[in-house]
């Protein structure tokens, strides 16, 4: 009787397998519709190959002394491997998770009722078996830090830092990383690929750094792609890309203009005009954060607080002085601030006056206005507002 029962179960397994090969496309009923309710392994879960796990079930319809357990393909019909035949119907069986390859599978349990010739079955949902003796790259925390200033804003250099983890079982040598920088508006996308000269062991981390300049204010998105050419065989190939966004602030940018090339006579008072202009995209902050230092030869230094300036607005000061001796007299102006602006190298300008004797020429062909940007002008027209 034992042998005939064994033959019956194997014949049913073969029949199920051959039925799938003849082109069956239907999937077996769900687990809860069957008299054998398999509770483990669970549908939708990932499991590692060649690791032990209990297959667990409950028999709710009919009574069977022994059962046979099969690993099937995801359709529930095609038998991939016979796990055991004539195992005691104890509700659990220790399985080594053996399969010929990674993939999606199901567990099928078949038994014959002791009370009749009825066949009772159970079938899990689809689960995945993976080769876990591989590395697995995964990105961790990310951040962008200002390199030279305390602000992430336009025209500032920043450093992008990303943590790269190996959550697999074997080391990774010299992984390749691609960084894709999507800039705001119509600005072009930047792609940077780098091979890291590092070995990342099991459960270890490495750090990827890349500096770049913020072109304009707005939202930037950084996408980090690990192993972009799929050169590394990993446990999970679907966790290698992560995107992260940050905002860059608009900033002010102050420049300064000064009178130049005037030729006053000895002893005559002349006006020295200095104009500060905000050519940035944000307003300057309150009084005390922005200051102007003006110097006039033989008159000395005078300091001024620059009021808040919206983009395009100007602030003008005028100093008067007369020199008692002839010759070239330097005048200059310097903007200083504790705040960050778009550029920090356009805050100083220097001009000169030539104090003449009566026989010297009254006029000069040199530019009448100098700017801290390096530009020169022949009048103040259009500079002040």
Statement: residue 42 has pLDDT above 50: yes
Please report the pLDDT score of residue 206 as a whole number. 97
Query: Mean pLDDT in the chain?
Result: 88
**CATH, domain 2-130, list 2.60.40.10, 3.30.1440.10, 2.60.40.3500, 1.10.3720.10:** 2.60.40.10
For residue 147, the tally of other CB atoms under 10 A from its CB is: 13
Average pLDDT over residues 315-337: 94
Place of tokens 């028999």: 59
Question: What homologous superfamily is domain 254-377 in, according to CATH?
Answer: Immunoglobulins (2.60.40.10)
- Model confidence pLDDT, tens digit, residues 159-183: 999 999 999 989 999 999 999 999 9
Confidence of residue 62 (pLDDT cuts 50, 70, 90): low
Backbone angles phi, psi at 364, to 5 degrees: -130, 145
- Mean of the pLDDT values across residues 101-120? 88
Instruction: List the single range of 13-27, 139-153, 179-193, 201-215 with lowest mean pLDDT.
Output: 13-27
Q: Give tens-digit pLDDT for 172-220.
A: 999 999 999 999 988 899 999 999 999 999 999 999 999 999 989 999 9
Please state, as a whole number, how many other Cβ atoms lie within 10 Å of the Cβ of residue 14. Answer: 11
pLDDT score for 132: 86
Taking domain 137-248, whether its CATH number is 3.30.70.1070 is answered by: no
Give the neighbor-by-neighbor strand order of the sheet with 218-226: 190-195, 176-182, 218-226, 241-248
Tell me 31's DSSP state: G
Q: Percentage of the chain with pLDDT > 90?
A: 73
Q: Determine the pLDDT at residue 148.
A: 78
* CB-based contact 162:139 (threshold 8 Å): yes
| CA proximity to 260, closest of 332, 318, 323, 315 | 332
| pLDDT for residue 117 | 75
Residue position matching structure tokens 């072009």: 188
Residues of the chain with CATH 2.60.40.10: 2-130, 137-248, 254-377
Q: Are 261 and 367 in contact (CB under 8 A)?
A: yes
Phi-psi region of 90 (alpha: psi -120 to 50; beta: other; left: phi over 0): alpha
pLDDT digits (tens, 9 = 90+) for 297-314: 988 999 999 999 999 999
């Amino acid at each position: 009787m034992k042998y005939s029962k064994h033959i019956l179960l194997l014949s049913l397994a073969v029949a199920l397998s051959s039925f799938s090969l003849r082109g069956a496309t239907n999937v077996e009923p769900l687990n809860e519709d069957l008299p054998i309710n398999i509770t483990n392994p669970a549908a939708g879960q990932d499991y590692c190959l060649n690791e032990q796990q209990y297959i667990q079930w409950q028999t709710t319809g009919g009574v069977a002394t022994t059962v046979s357990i099969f690993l099937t393909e995801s359709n529930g019909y095609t038998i991939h491997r016979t796990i055991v035949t004539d195992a005691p119907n104890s509700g659990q069986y220790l399985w080594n998770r053996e399969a010929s390859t990674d993939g999606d599978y199901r567990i099928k349990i078949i038994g014959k009722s002791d009370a009749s010739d009825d066949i009772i079955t159970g079938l899990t949902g689809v689960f995945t078996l993976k080769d876990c003796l591989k590395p697995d790259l995964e990105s961790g925390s990310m951040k962008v830090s200002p390199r030279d200033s305390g602000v992430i804003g336009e025209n500032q250099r920043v450093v992008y830092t990303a943590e790269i983890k190996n959550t697999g079982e074997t080391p990774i040598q010299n992984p390749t990383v691609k960084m894709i920088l999507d800039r705001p508006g119509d600005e072009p996308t930047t792609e940077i690929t780098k091979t890291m000269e590092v070995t990342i062991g099991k459960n270890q981390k490495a750090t990827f750094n890349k500096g770049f300049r913020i072109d304009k204010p707005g939202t930037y998105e950084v996408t980090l792609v690990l192993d972009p050419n799929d050169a590394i065989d990993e446990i999970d190939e679907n966790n290698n890309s992560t995107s992260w966004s940050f905002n860059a602030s608009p900033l002010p940018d102050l420049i300064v203009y000064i009178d130049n090339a005037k030729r006053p006579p000895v002893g005559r008072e002349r006006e020295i005009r200095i104009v500060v202009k905000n050519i940035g995209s944000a307003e300057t902050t309150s009084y005390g954060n922005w200051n102007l230092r003006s110097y006039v030869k033989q008159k000395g230094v005078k300091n001024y607080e620059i009021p808040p300036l919206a983009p395009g607005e100007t602030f003008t000061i005028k100093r008067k002085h007369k020199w008692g001796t002839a010759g070239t007299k330097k005048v200059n102006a310097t903007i200083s601030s504790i705040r960050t602006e778009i550029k920090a190298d356009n805050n100083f300008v220097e001009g000169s006056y030539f104090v003449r004797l009566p026989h010297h020429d009254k006029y000069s062909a040199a530019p009448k206005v100098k700017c801290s940007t390096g530009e020169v002008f022949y009048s103040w027209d259009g500079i002040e507002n």
